[in-house]
Amino acid sequence: MIRMKAYKNLLVVGVFCCTLFVACSPKVWQVFVSGPEAVYLSPIDKAPLNPCKQSINYAPSIEYPNHTPMRYVRVRFMVVQAVKDDPNTLLPHEAPAYIKRLIEIVNYKLSITEQMKLPIGNNTPAIPRNYRFLLYLDPTEPNDIGVDYAVDSSLAYFNRSSNISGSYDRRAYDKYAKYKGQVLTVVLQEHHPDSITSKTYNDNSTGTGFPDWFKIAGAKQNYDTIWHADGTFETTGYAADLFVHETGHSFGLMHTWSGNDGCDDTPNHPNCWDANSGPCKHDGIYSNNMMDYNNNKSALTPCQLGIVNYNFSRDGSPQRKYLEPMWCEYKKDSIINIYTDVEWNGSKDLEGDIIIQNGGRLTIRCRVSLPAGARIIIKPRGTLVLDGAHLTNLCNQQWEGIEQWGNSKEQGSLVLYSASTIDKVLHEVALPSR
């Protein structure tokens, strides 16, 4: 009996404590910012250059890699033949397996983050490559294989020593390529059979890259297969290194060994094919940068990736037109959490919410696109700074808006240092004037 009474007393005390705790804990409220909650402060001192136009600001962050979402580049192949079903080219029954394997290997190479080998002793950071390739299939064509064929005897064969079908001849693309402005076209030409028989002709695989298309010569010549015990086969994807190199040109990169590619982190160095070539034979170290001529194209520098991503972000650029618009679909799990002091000095195409956690501070200075359904949440001790920012949706939709959280003691802060714009938003934010 005494034990039961003690238990009841303990229960009463417990309930009282719980009630007291709930009553004393600040209740969190959340509202969409409508305008008055934003305040102007004194301008931040900035460099005279527009940060949104500085390519280095677009390099993916080592500390926050998810702040730069993955890009997917649509590619489509075009085989140029001298005659229909030319046996010297990849035929319709060969092309799908070859292209599938080629793209698999290319994307695998891009998934590897590798340190620069040259110059010797460099400490260039290795940062993730945030782009991949996908084969574009026409949704209106049920049996489309992502390959188009063009028959033209005068443009079919690649010739190193001639302007006709040489490295920089774009007539095959101009005349026959489909889906221009929608895909990055890969033009496949072959070395002429007569040229290959010549002992003085260099018939190695080669290519050239341009913003809207690039060329690979020698795909069929180097076509090889691996047969499995069950009778199936796969191709070797011989041209993967050439593919990543030429698409580097398509995305705005230059050769690195000359020292004039616009990047301070790719200084002049011996451009060696492997450890036994030229000046590299003495130290056994050769370049692995994708934009050199070497047999291990695996590294890109922050400056190079900044150039690539800057071109991906520029409105109207050919590189942006070929991206799959992943930023148009809201992904519940694609959340960017801000816990510390973070600055975004380049444009972003996001796929989900931004949550500025307690103690976090996010400064936005450029265009940020958010999908329909996405919102920016500022928690009670979080701060969002707009310094010339443009928050929008680029998919003819409306994103949710800026949500401010608070309680009786504190609330999230929206601060403006210079004129910003917020549009394509469901819950409008009427920013105050200065």
Task: Give dist(CA 188, CA 38) in Å, integer.
Answer: 56
CA–centroid distance for 198 within its chain: 42
Burial of 335 (0-12, 13-18, 19+ CB in 10 A): middle
Distances (CA, A) of 194 to 157, 171, 188, 396: 10, 22, 18, 54
**pLDDT (0 to 100) of residue 49:** 79
Determine contact, residues 197/225, Cβ cutoff 8 Å.
no
Name residues whose C-beta falls within 8 Å of residue 131's C-beta, 6 or more positions apart in sequence: 70, 71, 72, 73, 110, 308, 309, 312
Closest CA to 289 of 254, 319, 313, 251: 254
Closest CA to 271 of 84, 75, 118: 118
Task: Give dist(CA 311, CA 309) in Å, integer.
Answer: 5
Report residues of the chain scoring pLDDT below 70.
1-26, 35-48, 160-166, 202-205, 223-238, 433-434
Task: Give dist(CA 206, CA 191) in Å, integer.
Answer: 10
Residues of the chain with CATH 3.40.390: 70-300
Query: Mean pLDDT score of the chain, rounded to an integer?
Result: 86
Task: Give dist(CA 382, CA 385) in Å, integer.
Answer: 10
**Tokens 């001639």 correspond to what residue?**
162
Distances (CA, A) of 58 to 53, 65, 168, 258, 349: 9, 12, 30, 24, 12
**pLDDT (0 to 100) of residue 307:** 97
The strand ranges marked E within 203-323 are 206-209, 213-217, 225-227, 233-235
Distances (CA, A) of 246 to 211, 217, 266, 292, 389: 10, 12, 18, 11, 34
Rounded to 5 degrees, what are φ and ψ at 372?
Answer: -60, 130
**pLDDT (0 to 100) of residue 163:** 52
**pLDDT (0 to 100) of residue 47:** 56
CA–centroid distance for 36 within its chain: 37
pLDDT digits (tens, 9 = 90+) for 88-123: 898 999 899 889 989 999 999 999 999 999 888 889
**pLDDT (0 to 100) of residue 37:** 62
CA–centroid distance for 102 within its chain: 19
Task: Give dist(CA 30, CA 377) in Å, integer.
Answer: 9
> Which CATH number is correct for 70-300, 3.40.390, 3.30.70, 1.10.10, 2.60.40?
3.40.390
**pLDDT (0 to 100) of residue 21:** 43
**pLDDT (0 to 100) of residue 16:** 44
**pTM exceeds 0.85 for this model:** yes
Q: Which helix (H) or strand (E) holds 193?
A: helix 193-196
Task: Give dist(CA 373, CA 398) in Å, integer.
Answer: 8
